[in-house]
Structure 1
Amino acid sequence: MKYNFDEIINRKHTKSIKYDFFSMTGKVGYNTIPLWIADMDFRTPPCVREAIIQRAEHGIFGYSATDDDYFIAVQQWFLKRHNWNVQPEWMIQTRGILNAVSVIVSALTKPGDAILLQYPSYHQFNSIIENTRRKIVKNPLILENGTYKIDFEDFERQIVQNDVKLFILCNPHNPVGRVFTKEELIQMGDICLRYGVLVLSDEIHQDFIFAPHKHFVFVDAKPEFRDITITCTAPTKTFNLSGVAISNMFIIDEDLRDDIKDEIKRRGGAGIGILEILACQAAYTDGEEWLEELLSYLLESIAYARKFFREKLPEIDVIEPEGTYLLWIDCRRLGFWAKDLDSFLADEAQVTLSGSPGAEGFLRINLACPRSTLEKAFSQLERAVKKL
């Protein structure tokens, strides 16, 4: 490999939420291995670092905006990787996906409105809905034979009974790792069309797809979806740029787009900085080779994890990931409640993982780290579980 994903990089005392946050609270020590939050322990691609260094040497960081070169980089990436030909008038930048979600919820719904989530859900969606005084409506995914499936009858029932205004689709799904098929997307979209439900399609993990699965852009699955969809994307997951906050929303419907723009103005504007712009443009222009090697490395890590749990900890079931670099595991046979399981891992295994609302006994492992880190974490987990 051209890129060294086995390199151990010390991230402690770098103001890293992943490595420093829990230690600062006193809940865990600095020797605990953090496999919880979804950022990677790999250096971002050289093209991104070089673009940032070059601008830093220029020495001026004035007000900045995206231009044609930026759009072309984004457009070509989506055309080549996802067969989706985006247009410049569709695109709006925000400071990260969560900022985009907050803007969309505030712009397109009112306090008290119902918003549909598929459980298990990404916990930050819950926080945004609750903090904006909207109502969470749950459509639980059904775990059958190691795979999560959509309960379409319940999906429609929840929309009708709760007068749902917005559906937040997470595809690929965080945390369970599903990559929804085109048929599943169309079936969900048709139900939303039937009842006038808008769709926020969070596709931030779309570049992490494992064969034979394929990512389909929701809004492109059927022409009618253009009138109801806001697509949220970002280079931050793909290229490990979570601390360089930028996302690209695509909104084809002009009225929806104007509502979003008005909400951004009410918040004082998007405020995208020059380093964010340059990082995104460089990543989408020259980062593909790095990503392809990363995907190969992640597949090896998934294979390692699958073999480890099968042979060493068969009481923990692995949900096979179709996408994302997150591994969803079923720990219910260990017999812990969620908080007790978290404490056990931190205290006895010295490993921090993350859970999800609506998923008691399940945990999410971030596999995007050097293999030696995984080996050490899994070994500590094995020793702790064997003591039970």
Structure 2
Amino acid sequence: MFNFDNVIERRHTNSLKWDNFGPIYQLTSIEDILPMWVADMDFAVPQCVTTAITKRLEHPVFGYSNICDNTYLAIINWLATHHHYTVKKDELLFRHGVIPALANVIAALTKEGDAIVISPPVYHPFYFIPTNLNRTLLTCPLVEQNGHYHFDFDAFEQQLIKAKAYILCNPHNPGGMVWDEATLREIVRLCAKHDVLIISDEIHADLVFQPHQHIPIATVAGDEINRVITCMAPTKTFNLASIQSAFMIVHDANKRELIESYATANGQGGINVLAVEATRAAFEEGEEWRLAMLDYISHTMDVVIRELSTIDGVTALKPDGTYLLWIDYRATGLSEKEIMQRLLTVGKLALEPGTKYGVEGEGFLRMNLACPLATAEEAIARFKKALA
């Protein structure tokens, strides 16, 4: 029913992924480079989303609008069905992205100079959002063992003693871990002990492979649920990045008021009318597409991991969640500069260097595998050529 093998031409569509990465990689020409970097998909969006947007476009007026009750209900039902997470309508606050939501929360609920803790290697905006807002950034690196990451809770607690907030990435980007209940409960316990706000980025919540199960940290927070703010979106799961739709779940009424007051004072609004329709349609009707997409990407990852294992010094473990593969090349002896140079000039392949996610990412590469299998196979051929 869904043709994920279809290779859709994205060049010359003003795509960031395909058309605008030259300056990022310091390239003057990118026409022969295969981009497997930024986290968007090369798949067509679910037909239900296209249909919903098209139907709305049939009405010729695009004046100011509200978020319809059906969109709220679609989100509430999705969270209850997929994540056993009970959410009320007034606990949902909409923003045009998870990163704007994170910035809104940090600006509204912390002060300049307050310390924010993150756990690298981790999604790079976790670094620049707090620092751009003149907060003090504290890092507590995850501990890596054979490609798997876990928390050093003793070190974590030492950082929390000095902190006002902690930004959690669950599922983790770029490592691909789906944190288990015991880990999440310990994060809550320690944050409660030291009165630290938990801001949880869960944008990859619906991109989890069996037998793993995403657990929203709020669902294990118990009496501490008011210190948790969860940020989610349909955009990563259903390939809607340019539609710009995200939401926060804020259980504490006082925190909601502070967040909304800051947004109003700084001219920040909610989501546009097409994003409302896309969000509703994705959560109401997109489940069959999502499951098929996950099966397809899971198979693609198996193929790519098997091929990578034939390259001396290169390994990769299948992630618990996300369509991002975290590739370990440390045993090759190559520096990041050397491997990136080989990939770009010999292999004509653009991957993301691990240090983009902190110094703890040195020796790793991130590859986006939300693409047709033929594209992934071409990427592996180019990878092998670069390291031959």
Q: Give the alignment's TM-score, normalised by structure 1.
A: 0.96
In 1: Cα distance, 2:279 partner to 2:57 partner? 16
Asked if the contact 2:343–2:382 (Cα under 8 Å) also holds between the matched residues in 1, the reply is: no
**Residue number in structure 2 paired with 1:170:** 169
**Residue number in structure 1 paired with 2:8:** 9
Gaps of 5+ in 1: none
Q: Which amino acid aligns with 2:206?
A: D
Q: Which amino acid aligns with 2:383?
A: L
Q: Secondary structure at the match of 2:205?
A: coil
Asked if the contact 1:52–1:279 (Cα under 8 Å) also holds between the matched residues in 2, the reply is: yes
1:325 aligns with 2:323: yes
Q: Which shows bigger deviation, 27-36 or 78-87? A: 27-36
Identity score, percent: 38
**Residue number in structure 2 paired with 1:155:** 156
Asked if the contact 1:147–1:320 (Cα under 8 Å) also holds between the matched residues in 2, the reply is: no
1:143-292 matches, cutoff 5 A: 143-160=144-161, 163-292=162-291
Q: Which amino acid aligns with 1:63?
A: Y
In 2: Cα distance, 1:263 partner to 1:344 partner? 47
Asked if the contact 2:180–2:215 (Cα under 8 Å) also holds between the matched residues in 1, the reply is: yes
Between Structure 1 and Structure 2, how many residues are aligned? 382
In 2: Cα distance, 1:344 partner to 1:98 partner? 32
**Residue number in structure 1 paired with 2:334:** 336
**Residue number in structure 2 paired with 1:51:** 52
Q: Secondary structure at the match of 2:4?
A: coil
In 2: Cα distance, 1:146 partner to 1:362 partner? 10
1:126-137 matches, cutoff 5 A: 126-137=127-138
Asked if the contact 1:201–1:231 (Cα under 8 Å) also holds between the matched residues in 2, the reply is: yes
Asked if the contact 1:175–1:364 (Cα under 8 Å) also holds between the matched residues in 2, the reply is: yes
Q: Secondary structure at the match of 2:275?
A: helix
Asked if the contact 2:312–2:332 (Cα under 8 Å) also holds between the matched residues in 1, the reply is: no
Q: What is the aligned counterpart of 2:314 among 313, 316, 337?
A: 316
| Structure 1 residue 35 displacement after superposition | 0.7
In 2: Cα distance, 1:374 partner to 1:175 partner? 18
Asked if the contact 2:302–2:318 (Cα under 8 Å) also holds between the matched residues in 1, the reply is: no
| Structure 1 residue 335 displacement after superposition | 2.5
Asked if the contact 2:36–2:350 (Cα under 8 Å) also holds between the matched residues in 1, the reply is: yes
Deviations 1:170-229 (A, max 9, x none): 000000000000110000110000000000011000001112211111011131231201
**Residue number in structure 1 paired with 2:378:** 376
Asked if the contact 1:122–1:174 (Cα under 8 Å) also holds between the matched residues in 2, the reply is: yes
| Structure 1 residue 27 displacement after superposition | 4.4
Q: Which amino acid aligns with 1:277?
A: V
In 1: Cα distance, 2:65 partner to 2:71 partner? 12
CA RMSD, aligned part only? 1.3
| Structure 1 residue 337 displacement after superposition | 2.9
Q: Which shows bigger deviation, 351-360 or 287-296? A: 351-360
1:74 aligns with 2:72: no
Q: Which shows bigger deviation, 110-119 or 92-101? A: 110-119
**Residue number in structure 2 paired with 1:362:** 364
Q: Which shows bigger deviation, 234-243 or 15-24? A: 15-24
Once superposed, which parts of structure 1, at least 4 consecutive aligned residues long, lie more than 3 Å away?
Answer: 23-28
Asked if the contact 1:318–1:329 (Cα under 8 Å) also holds between the matched residues in 2, the reply is: yes
In 2: Cα distance, 1:62 partner to 1:302 partner? 44
Deviations 1:259-304 (A, max 9, x none): 1111111121314210010000010011001001001101101111
Asked if the contact 2:113–2:135 (Cα under 8 Å) also holds between the matched residues in 1, the reply is: yes
